Amino acid sequence: MNQHKGLKVRMLAAGSILFAFYAALVGLAIAIWGVDIWPIAIAITAFFGVFQYIMGKKMALWSVGAKDLDENDYYQIHAAVERMSQEMGIKKPRVMKAEMGVPNAFAVGRKGAGVVVISEELMRILNQEELEGVIAHELAHIRNRDVVMMVIGQSIASMIGIAVYFLTVMGNRNIGAMITGWILSAIAQTIVMIFVLAISRYREYVADADAAEVIGRGEPLARALEKISNAGQNAQVDERVNALCIFGGGDKSLLESVFSTHPPTEERIARLRSY
CA atoms of 88 and 100, how far apart (whole Å): 27
Distances from the Cα of 261 to the Cαs of 29, 64, 80, 237, in angstroms?
31, 19, 27, 12
Taken in order 239, 240, 244, 245, is the CA torsion positive or negative?
Answer: negative
Q: From the candidates 138, 204, 219, 256, which is the catalytic residue?
A: 138
Alpha-carbon gap, residue 236 to 245, rounded angstroms: 12
Rounded distance between C-alpha atoms, residue 262 and residue 27, angstroms? 33
Q: List the beta strands (DSSP E) in the chain.
A: 67-68, 94-98, 105-108, 115-119
Asked if 226 is an active-site residue, the reply is no
Q: Measured between alpha carbons, how far is 225 from 133 in angstroms, rounded to an integer?
A: 10
The CA distance from 112 to 157, in Å, is 26
How far, in Å, CA of 111 to CA of 90, rounded? 6
Looking at the DSSP bridge assignments, the partners of residue 118 are: 97, 105
Burial 21-60 (b: 16+ CB within 10 A, else e): bbeebbeebbeeeeeeeeeebeeebeeebeebbeebbeeb
Residue 93's identity, in one-letter code, is P
CA neighbor of 245 nearest in space, from 137, 149, 163, 159: 137
Catalytic residues: 138
